[in-house]
Amino acid sequence: MASAARSGTSTPFSATTTLSAPPTPKLKATTNDFQRIAEAGAITASTLIEYIASRPASSSSVFVYDLAEQAGFGSLTKSWANAGSESAPVVSLQTRAGAGLSLVGRLSQGTSRDAAKGAVLTAYTTPSGLAAMVQSLTYLPPATPTSRLVIQVPTVTPVGERFALSPTLAPFTPTLALLPEGFTVLLSATPQEAVDLATLSYQLTNTHVIHFFDHHGSTRETGHVATPPVVLPEPGLTLEDGLKKAGYTAFEYAGDQNAQTVVVLPNGPLALAAKALASRISGLGVVIVRVLRPWNEDALRSVLPSSVQKVHVFDDVPTETTQGALYLDVFAALLNPLERGPVVKAHRIVPARTQEFLSDPAAFFTHILDLLPQPVAIPPLAAPNQKKLLFFSTPESALAALPKMVEAIFLPHKSLSSRLLTDYDVFSKPGGVTADRIILSPKQDESPFVPLSATLPLSARSTGVADFVAVLDEALLRSHDVLSHAAAGAPVLVATDATAAELAASLPSEVAALIRERDLHLCTLDAKALVADLSKGNAHIQKVLANVTVLLAFLRLYLGRAATEDLVRKVALADLGDSVQGVQLAELVHKSWGGLVEIELPAPAATSDASEHASTPLKAFEFNAIAVETAEGDTVINGARLGSWHDAAKHILFPSAFTPAGVTITSPEEQHPALRPELPERTFLITCTVNRRLTPLEYDRNVFHLEFDTRGTGLKYEIGEALGVHGWNDASEVLDFCEWYGVDPDRLVTLPVPGTDGARVHTRTVFQALQQQVDLFGKPTKTFYTELAEHAARVEDKYALRFIGSPEGAATFKKLSEKDTVTFADILKRYESARPGIEVLCELVGDIKPRHYSIASSQAVVGDRVDLLVVSVDWVTPSGSPRYGQCTRYLAGLKVGQKVTVSIKPSVMKLPPDHKQPIIMAGLGTGAAPFRAFLQHRALLASQGVPVGPTYYYFGSRHQSQEYLYGEEIEAFVLDRTITRAGLAFSRDGPRKVYIQHRMREHGADLARMLWDERGVFYLCGPTWPVPDVYEALVDALVGHASVSREAAGAFLEGLKEEERYVLEVY
């Protein structure tokens, strides 16, 4: 066969080369083993950062947020803690509203055991997660040598419709201005730098630290020698001294020392690429920002050359309308009113642009070079004698381990540097696609570190940069654009059981044309067949021997013209030994040598079915998943332990709603996996066990009692708190709307998660979105009319909608909203030409808000149960259309056994701290709900012999026979003296209307004494209308029985509000 001669012209091997490979890293290894493996280059910098952060000498506790695990960071820390190794305790947390408050609480003085004994807490999160935490971090106490916070942030963020992973800082940068003083923000990019700055994070003792590192690329590479440092805090160490000691500065300048054009970038993969570019051309300088906070203006000015005339600041921002924080910092540092300085220009790099620059480095370099006054061609960035190897396979392929075997051959080589990076695409093919990139270069090479994304990009428009391409799953040739990455004349190895003729005939026409155009050496190997007779029917042995056979074929192609069977055997000998699974290495070399076949493709005219093969476009590889192997042997994909790689795409689409078979929720305190991922608050899935109407069927008000089983959910509530019910729209109305709108209810729709500026999205069917999330039958806001107008096709509809949303249309809007009580769906049907796409419509309408109901039970009494008291809300519009309260309609229709999503909301309705304090409760209708919980709790205390103070209960409704809510329980509480005195007011039962304020006046002396002398607490719950009358009844009681003026009585009641002894919960 014809060998790929070009690969042999600069081979680093000789016939006498001796190689040895490190063992496969074992995460349960001892510290010495771990250090030895790390020094051999077989461990990533990200793993070392987890190792450093999880040592008890570094952290007292590690808090792993879900977003960090979904980015492939934190699973090892949890694995080590579970294995009982020398690791700090680990706490798993969800990224929700108020994220970070638990950290604040652990470090706050006087409220935390950790604060009392001293603690260094570590948290793992992503840029998106950190953005959600910043508001909470403003409450963090100042750092001390024994009490501080370190946040390790892997820069990985899903962006776009295909959830491509990006190193952008865009989700965090808008919140940088909110970050309180007392924080140091470090940015690292290279593997060694990431380990060094992670170490520095724990050496600094007078500051909280946030450390961003390039987990998107460089810190996941293997092949870098990095010794796990012994981290010891250094009291008094300043940031400047710590950086200097580690060999770094806050700002690094690279390029022409007399440059007139300077680009400023946050440290990361693009900054490293720009640095490499600046080192090869004149007239350009690059400033890499390594420290974002504290911002040092003098340090920035000191690194800029005096010749600079223009400074271009590249800012990661979520949208092009967002002003970048880095630009503002640089502009302020260089602004000098007394003399003319350089012009500072902002370049807002949105996530989509970051992805473009990463996948197509030429576009990034062109963008920078266009800033220079004179045209400059893009120089070559590859180091001399550098080799670029690319392997495509599927994660569950029998040959998936081959790239690591290739790496093991090169890692211990004394004069050769090897870098390996593995990425996954789980969307473009069921089961996923793996791309392994290996860069080989001389160790003495001193050129700047360039990220693999720039050295060997996987661009959809690749012109060919790889010196060798292996396709370990032949089907990828027909489904994916894999060969476009091969440079002209490069060898291509395809592992297949097809014959040369079969493979040639099956190639898509554009793939065959590319092979001819670039003169690629297409070689095939049927490794499984070659070793079938050697494995003796043992599947495991056959798999091992097949991998070795393909490895040997790779070595032959890599060595090129210098290759001989004996040389290939000698190169592999040190790593594989004389025999593999009882088979002599020489025999395997011979079989591999004889089985490697180069295919000569026929001329285009001889391919009769070319048009058939060209019918399906080839897919581009897109990096959207990270896999981690844990100490237990599990594969964790984007934070989930999945049953198979076929489940990976489902997990990304439904990270909170997808749980594979065989995976159980181990902790009842964790968020239930079946709940909606877009909700910011913690939610629980509880089960309806009782739905009982309390009022007669013929009565015009449906008041009903609900009970829910909370066992196994972790739901806890305090007396007086409210239950937030995340109700659903009526299913039949949703389906009717879908039919009218012309949208398939089973179609998938992707929506942004509220509050994330589009950084996070979730996917569900149209029916699920409209039934469970979108407030389709809610009340439109003025903004909705204005925004809907832009989608109207008819001019009259457009102007009508604009008018209603304008200040001039206030009266019309008020009539529609308050009198006609129109819904979003009504407006869409009224102005039919306004039909935005369903995704846009969902965003315009917004989400259903949870409705909160006072909990009508005491958990100490009822146990794993929560009770509600609800009245159905319904009315008829002036036009005769029936209307229903969305959530009460949903609750009224609940069936026993039905699941409901709920959350807990704190309330002002709290029992006094002293059980002996008197309480006065006044409830109208369903306002009796929290007082039922109060009474249950006081009855429990009394049964336990705990002294309790007087308890007065006032209740009002229209008819005793129809609406005496929980009447039997109230009478029982009166009989057992839980209720000291009851004042019942049924307004429609007597010749004159009697309300609760009338009953209160009857007990004026008692009320005045309890409030004035005995520190009693008054509560009112229900509608707002009786508030003035109740207030006047209390004022009259104080005037008549406490001998104070009306002004003094009023001031006293106002003072009670401040003391939380006059509590209103009205609606």
Containing 183, the helix (H) or strand (E) segment is: strand 183-187
Return the pLDDT at 596.
Answer: 95
Percent above pLDDT 90 for the chain: 54
CA 63 – CA 101 distance, rounded (Å): 12
d(CA 736, CA 1035): 55
| Encoded amino acid at 157, one letter | T
Q: What is the pLDDT of residue 26?
A: 39
Is the pTM higher than 0.85?
no
Instruction: Assess whether pLDDT exceeds 50 at residue 656.
Output: no
Higher-confidence position of 764 and 726: 726
> What is the pLDDT, as a whole number, of residue 642?
54
The confidence band for 453, taking pLDDT boundaries of 50, 70 and 90, is: confident
Segment 640-655 shows an average pLDDT of: 55
Query: Tell me, what's the pLDDT at 386?
Result: 87
- The enclosing H or E element of 401 equals none
| 262 and 285 Cβ atoms separated by less than 8 Å | yes
**pLDDT average, residue stretch 860-864:** 93
- The pLDDT of residue 18 is 27
The least confident of 659-668, 707-716, 717-726, 869-878 is 659-668
Higher-pLDDT residue of 928 and 883 is 928
Question: What is the pLDDT, as a whole number, of residue 884?
Answer: 82
User: What integer is the mean pLDDT of 330-340?
Assistant: 86
pLDDT for res 36:
55
Tell me the CA distances in angstroms from 562 to 7, 16, 540, 577, 746, one per residue in order: 9, 13, 33, 22, 60
3-state secondary structure of 913: coil
**What CA–CA distance (Å, rounded) separates 987 from 956?**
7
DSSP string of 13-37, one letter each residue: --TT-----PPPP-TT--HHHHHHH
Q: For the chain, what is the mean pLDDT?
A: 85
The secondary element (H helix, E strand) that includes residue 61 is strand 61-65
Weakest mean pLDDT among 149-158, 443-452, 979-988: 443-452
From 280-294, 325-339, 621-635, 980-994, the region with the lowest mean pLDDT: 621-635
Of 994 and 603, which is predicted with more confidence?
994
Q: What is the pLDDT of residues 518-559, one digit of tens each?
A: 999 999 999 999 999 898 888 888 999 999 999 999 999 999
CA pair distance 384, 387, nearest whole angstrom: 9
- Split at pLDDT 50, 70, 90, the class of 700 is confident
CA distances 194 to 165, 190, 216, 269, 499, Å, are 19, 6, 12, 12, 48
- Between 92 and 437, residue with greater pLDDT: 437
Interval 870-906: pLDDT, tens: 998 888 877 777 888 888 889 998 888 888 989 998 8
DSSP 654: S
Q: How far is residue 505's CA from residue 606's CA, in Å, rounded to a whole number?
A: 10
Which of 210, 200, 206 lies closest to 231, judged by CA? 200
Q: What is the pLDDT of residues 16-28, one digit of tens each?
A: 222 223 333 333 4
Token match 């593997």: residue? 191
767 φ/ψ angles, rounded to the nearest 5 degrees:
-60, -45
* pLDDT at res. 338: 76
pLDDT of res. 757: 53
pLDDT attached to residue 162: 72
In this model, does residue 711 exceed pLDDT 70? yes
Would you state the torsion angle of the CA atoms of residues 539, 542, 544, 549, taken in this order, to the nearest 10 degrees? -160
Helices 361-369 and 351-359 meet at what angle, rounded to 10? 110
pLDDT, position 13:
29
587 CB-contact burial (10 Å; exposed 0-12 / middle 13-18 / buried 19+): middle
How far, in Å, CA of 411 to CA of 418, rounded? 6
- CA dihedral over 955, 960, 966, 969, signed as positive or negative: positive
Residue with tokens 């963090």: 140
What pLDDT is stored for residue 24 in this prediction?
33
Contacts with 52 (C-beta within 8 Å, 6 or more apart), sequence order: 58, 195, 198, 199, 202, 228, 229, 231
Give pLDDT, residue 651: 55
Is a pLDDT exceeding 90 seen at residue 441? no
Q: What confidence tier does 760 reach under pLDDT thresholds 50, 70, 90?
A: low
Q: What is the pLDDT of residue 605?
A: 62
pLDDT computed for residue 79 by the predictor: 85
pLDDT, residue 7, reads 31
Residue 761, pLDDT > 70, answer: no
pLDDT for 111 beyond 60: no
At 41 the pLDDT is 61
| Amino acid at position 739, single letter | E
Tell me the mean pLDDT in the region 390-405: 92
